[in-house]
């Protein structure tokens, strides 16, 4: 699980929700990201939000998610399709798709279609989800979602073969003779398993092409990152897998004032030194001009590493 600095890809989480969506629009934001020279555009996945939710968001100490239930939120894969036809060369990804609340055969078709439209640029980040009430709204059980995610990953890859084998995939039975065309451009869509929990790190080793770790707003000390990377390595060895096959990625939500500073560049360099190949940045868009300025400072931090984004 190593990566030289020359392999680093730095992308941006697209604000396809809330005030930036309504006041700036995704086309304008995408054009600014393209102009910045950064290497990827990523989206988040919520089909619904829920008023008075009792669920706890795992990456904030207080468990508060921070988005009101009435926040307008464009669907992830439709958004990426719009981005795909407006861009060339940039990675496109989900950070993360809530896998066990989606229909896996339909998702396989959506991903293969999007990968074809984009010329093979899709990276599917997946997680098991935390918003219990969203599962209920979609008619998906919250209990057992980890096992369902494992089964859905097997079914996704089977469908991407074009002719999935009939049989049992967890709770799902696939009949004989199913065909699912077209296939992804490169045969499969790379799957990045998200999450920092022991269960997520074990799933990376069992079923992921890579890991998509989350850096809480409070930060991720290098010692904690190193520990999680070591855990993935041990889990890989326990299933007979070479740890170097696993691509390491992080999603980072920095304070906007940190972008472009020496300290931020040093933070990125420390993550690269730990083997991280891909970093996606949550960017606050208070206006188009503010987004452009922040993208410029982010690009400057990347340039200071001596690598291309």
Q: What is the pLDDT of residues 219-252, one digit of tens each?
A: 899 999 999 999 999 999 999 999 999 999 999 9
**Token output for 188:** 């499969």
Report the number of distinct structural domains present in the chain: 1
pLDDT value at residue 309: 56
Q: How far is CA 114 from its chain centroid?
A: 15
- Tell me, yes or no, whether 87 lies in a domain: yes
- Backbone phi, then psi, for 308, in 5-degree steps? -90, 150
- Tell me, yes or no, whether 309 lies in a domain: no
What pTM does this model have? 0.95
pLDDT value at residue 16: 98
- Tell me, yes or no, whether 118 lies in a domain: yes
- Tell me, yes or no, whether 64 lies in a domain: yes
- Tell me, yes or no, whether 165 lies in a domain: yes
How many other C-beta atoms can be found within 10 angstroms of the C-beta atom of residue 154?
Answer: 17
CA distance 191 to 211: 8
- Residue 82: HSE in the Cβ half-sphere, 13 Å Cα cutoff: 16
**Token output for 159:** 């469908």
How many other C-beta atoms can be found within 10 angstroms of the C-beta atom of residue 290?
Answer: 15
* CATH number assigned to the domain comprising residue 87: 3.20.20.30
User: Which tens digits make up the pLDDT trace of 123-146?
Assistant: 999 999 999 999 999 999 999 999
- Residue 43: HSE in the Cβ half-sphere, 13 Å Cα cutoff: 26
Domain extent at residue 96: 5-304
CA distance 304 to 10: 13
- Tell me, yes or no, whether 33 lies in a domain: yes
pLDDT at 44 over 80: yes
- Tell me, yes or no, whether 251 lies in a domain: yes
- Backbone phi, then psi, for 74, in 5-degree steps? -70, 140
- Tell me, yes or no, whether 210 lies in a domain: yes
Q: What is the DSSP letter of 7?
A: G
Residues 120-135: b if buried by 16+ CB within 10 A, e if exposed: ebbbbbbbbbbbbbbb
Q: For residue 219, what are the contacts with CB-CB under 8 A and spacing of at least 6?
A: none
């Amino acid at each position: 699980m190593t990566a030289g600095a020359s392999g680093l890809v730095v992308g941006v989480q697209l604000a396809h929700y809330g005030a930036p969506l309504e006041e700036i629009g995704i086309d304008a934001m995408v054009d600014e990201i393209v102009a910045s020279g950064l290497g990827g555009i990523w989206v988040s996945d919520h089909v619904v939000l829920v008023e008075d939710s009792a669920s706890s968001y795992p990456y904030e100490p207080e468990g508060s998610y921070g988005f009101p239930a009435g926040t307008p939120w464009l669907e992830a894969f439709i958004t990426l399709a719009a981005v795909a036809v407006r861009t060339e060369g940039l990675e496109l990804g989900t950070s993360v798709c809530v896998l066990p609340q989606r229909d896996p055969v339909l998702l396989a078709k959506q991903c293969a279609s999007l990968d074809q439209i984009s010329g093979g640029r899709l990276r599917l980040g997946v997680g098991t989800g935390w918003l219990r009430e969203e599962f209920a709204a979609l008619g998906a059980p919250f209990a057992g979602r980890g096992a369902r995610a494992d089964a859905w990953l097997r079914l996704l890859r089977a469908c991407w073969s074009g002719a999935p084998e009939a049989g049992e995939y967890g709770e799902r039975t696939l009949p004989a003779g199913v065909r699912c065309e077209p296939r992804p451009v490169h045969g499969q869509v790379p799957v990045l398993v998200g999450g920092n929990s022991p269960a997520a790190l074990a799933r990376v080793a069992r079923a992921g092409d890579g890991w998509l770790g989350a850096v809480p707003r409070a930060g991720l000390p290098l010692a904690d990152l190193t520990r999680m990377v070591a855990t993935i390595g041990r889990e890989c060895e326990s299933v007979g897998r070479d740890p170097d096959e696993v691509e390491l990625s992080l999603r980072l939500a920095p304070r906007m004032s940190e972008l472009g500073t020496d300290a931020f560049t040093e933070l990125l360099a420390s993550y690269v030194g730990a083997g991280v190949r891909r970093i996606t940045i949550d960017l606050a868009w208070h206006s188009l001009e503010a987004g452009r300025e922040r993208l410029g400072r982010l690009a400057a931090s990347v340039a200071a590493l001596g690598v291309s984004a």
